[in-house]
Amino acid sequence: QSALTQPRSLSGSPGQSVTISCTGTSSDVGSYNYVSWYQQHPGEAPKFMIYDVNKRPSGVPDRFSGFKSGNTASLTISGLQAEDEADYYCCSYAGSYVVFGGGTKLTVL
Amino acid sequence: QVQLQQWGAGLLKPSETLSLTCAVYGGPFSGSLRDYYWSWIRQPPGKGLEWIGEINHSGSANYNPSLKSRVTISIDTSRNQFSLTLNSVTAADTAMYYCASRVVPAAVGLWGQGTLVTVSS
């Protein structure tokens, strides 16, 4: 199986909104509403931000939202803040296994 | 509150076997944690995340197809631990290895602290 496709990098200014795309196939993203997103700061373990396409775990700000259409999922961060600068990974269930995206480095200008 | 703590050898030579263990605190596998799946995920230096596989409390395991021939994930319910074995390691297996858990498919809500495994001759 191949990794899900994400843009390598994105940037935005404080207060702006950014959207990170995650493209898979009909065997993973397109077939299941089990897409999750993770935020990872340097030197830290990933943090769980979104699951089931658009649900937020307790404690995650509502500035983070998820969406899916067809084989592509997306994460939107509204009201960008300096602490949002991090790597972001999407993840999809694919039947008997799980596949991650290659990661997107988000820079807050 | 469920917590994961992992350990294992951090330096291996090519062709050796990687072995890591993760202890789960916060409930028994077959009790309050019976709906969890216990996973291993790795991240090569400067690169992205790669799912290795997972196992449930009854020992049913799923593996990444690209690693399946070299990987075994096992569970010890009496000790509330699960383990990863990766055979015939090469430099390409150098990575931070995380144990993790999820309830909902592909929703890894809990991560261990990570173990850096380096494969070098």
pLDDT digits (tens, 9 = 90+) for B83-98: 999 999 999 999 999 9
Task: Answer whether A96's CB lies under 8 Å from B62's CB.
Answer: yes
The pLDDT value given to residue B58: 92
Residue pair A70/A30 in contact (Cβ under 8 Å)? The answer is yes
Contact A102 B48 (CB under 8 A): yes
Q: B51 to chain A: which residues are within 8 Å by CB? A: 91, 97-100
Strands (E), A55-97: 64-69, 72-77, 86-93
State how far residue A86 is from chain B, nearest Cα, in angstroms: 13
Report, as an integer, the average pLDDT of B75-89: 96
Distance from the Cα of A26 to chain B's closest Cα (Å) equals 16
B26-70 pLDDT, tens digit per residue, is: 888 778 888 899 999 999 999 999 999 999 999 999 999 999 999
Task: Place B105 in a pLDDT band, splitting at 50, 70 and 90.
Answer: confident
For tokens 């897409």, what's the residue?
A35
Distance CA A66, CA A49 (A): 9
Residue B106 has a pLDDT of 85
pLDDT in tens, A28-74: 999 999 999 999 999 999 999 999 999 999 999 999 999 999 999 99
